[in-house]
Structure 1
Amino acid sequence: MEEQVASWLKAQRVPAPALPVVADIVEITDAFCAEHLDAEYAGLCRALAVKLARKHPSPLLRGDRRIWAAGIVHTIGWVNFLADPAQTPHLKMERLAELLGVKQTTMGNKGALIRDLFGIGRFHEEFIRADMIEKNLMSWLVEVDGLIMDARSLPVPVQHELARVGIIPYVPEQEQR
C-alpha cells in the first residue's frame, strides 16, 4: 500500500481490517480518474470508498476489488451525469466499463447496490461535483413565509446564514464549496 494513501486512509478513520482493501480500491480509482477523468472525480471516489469502508460490516471486505472500484466510479459518474456529452469530462458507461476492465452489467449492478445502500440519487450533495451544484436547482430552493424561493436571490447576509446552517452548499458570491 502506497504510504501517502495509507496515511490518508488512517486520517479518514478507515477501520484497520478494511485498510488494505480500501487502499487497493483507491489506487485503482485514483489511477483511473487521473488518466480518464480529473482530480475532483478522484476525490469523490475516495470519499465514497471511505464511506463504504466505514459501513458496518463493510461490504468491501467481500468481492473483487476491481469491481468495487468500478462500482464506485460508476456511482460517482451516475450522480454527476458522466455519460452526458454536454458534461466535461464525459464518458459513456460502456466505455467506462471497458476502460475499467469489467462487464458493464456487473459495474452497473455494483453501482446500484452502492446507491441503494446509502440512498444516493442524482445530484446527491455529498458526491456532486462543484460545477454541477449550480445546475441543481434543488440545492438552492428554500421556503420563506410559505413561498419557495431560489436562495441565490436572497440578500447576501441571509445566504451566509443559510450556508452556515447547511441549508445551501455555499454563498454563490464567494464561489467556494
Structure 2
Amino acid sequence: MDKQQIKAKKQAILDLIRDFCAKKLDEEYMELAEKVLQKLGRKRKVPFTTGKSEVWAAGIINALGTINFLFDKSFEPYVSLDEINNYFGTSKSTTASKSRQIRDMLNLNHFSDEFLTQRIKELNPFTNLVMVDGFIVPLQMLPEEHQKIVKEARAMGMDISFTTTPEPESEE
C-alpha cells in the first residue's frame, strides 16, 4: 500500500469513528479514538493497511472502551459491545481480537493516562499516590512544589518518584 492508499484508509476509519462517536458517544471519545488511530498510523509497519476499515474502527472503540469502562452501565457514556458490533457490522470475536491487538501494540491499560477519559482519570485511585523512598504515599503529603512536578510529569505521560536520602558517595 502506498502513502496515498494508507491516507485514504486512515480517513475511512476516522470517518467511521467520528460518525459512531457523534451518534453513540461524545467528543472526548472521538478525540481519544483519533489519537489512537494517529498513533497506529505512526508505526513503522502501519497495521491498518490490512483488514476492513469497519473492523479497525470497532477495534479502536472497543480498545478505548475496555480501559475506560465504556461497557459498565454505571458509567457515562455507556455502550454495549453488541451496539458497537451491530453498528460496524462486525462480529464479537473479530472486534475483541482487533481490540486486543491494538491494546497490545500501544500498551493500553487502565493506567494509560494518555488514553483515559477525564472522568476515569479523576476516579483513578492511583492518581493521588506517589513513590517516595520506595514507599507509596499520598501526593498531598509532599511539598507543593513537588506536587506540581508530579502533576506536570503525569500530564506529559510520565511518572516520577522521589528519594529523600542522598546516594552514598563511592570511596575511591
TM-score band by shorter chain is 0.7 to 0.9
CA separation in 1, counterparts of 2:32 and 2:13?
13
SS in 1 for 2:64: helix
> What do you get for the CA RMSD once the two structures are aligned?
2.0
Q: Is the 8 A contact 1:162 1:168 kept in 2?
A: no
2:73 alignment counterpart: 85
Unaligned runs of 5+ in 1: 1-14, 170-177
1:87–1:58: structure 2 CA closer, same or farther, 3 Å change rule? same
Compute the displacement of 1:168 (Å). 8.6
2:7 alignment counterpart: 19
- The amino acid across from 1:143 in the alignment is M
CA separation in 1, counterparts of 2:40 and 2:77?
25
**Residue range with higher mean Cα deviation, 77-86 or 17-26:** 17-26
Q: TM-score, normalised by structure 1?
A: 0.79
Among 158, 162, 167, the residue aligned to 2:146: 158
Among 104, 107, 113, the residue aligned to 1:119: 107
CA separation in 2, counterparts of 1:56 and 1:163?
31
Counterparts of 1:22-61 in structure 2, within 5 Å, are: 22-61=10-49
2:117 alignment counterpart: 129
Query: Is residue 2:70 matched to residue 1:73?
Result: no
1:12 alignment counterpart: none
**Residue range with higher mean Cα deviation, 119-128 or 143-152:** 143-152
CA separation in 2, counterparts of 1:53 and 1:163?
29
SS in 2 for 1:49: helix
2:167 alignment counterpart: none
**Residue range with higher mean Cα deviation, 46-55 or 93-102:** 93-102
Compute the displacement of 1:130 (Å). 0.7
Q: TM-score, normalised by structure 2?
A: 0.82
Point out the structure with max Rg over C-alpha: 2
Q: Is the 8 A contact 1:74 1:108 kept in 2?
A: yes
SS in 2 for 1:134: helix
CA separation in 1, counterparts of 2:141 and 2:10?
42
**Residue range with higher mean Cα deviation, 134-143 or 47-56:** 134-143
Q: Is the 8 A contact 1:80 1:123 kept in 2?
A: no
Unaligned runs of 5+ in 2: 158-172
Q: What is the aligned length?
A: 155
Q: Is the 8 A contact 1:83 1:90 kept in 2?
A: yes
1:81-137 deviation digits (Å, cap 9, x = unpaired): 101011100112122211222111111110011111222112421210011012112
SS in 2 for 1:90: coil
1:168–1:134: structure 2 CA closer, same or farther, 3 Å change rule? farther
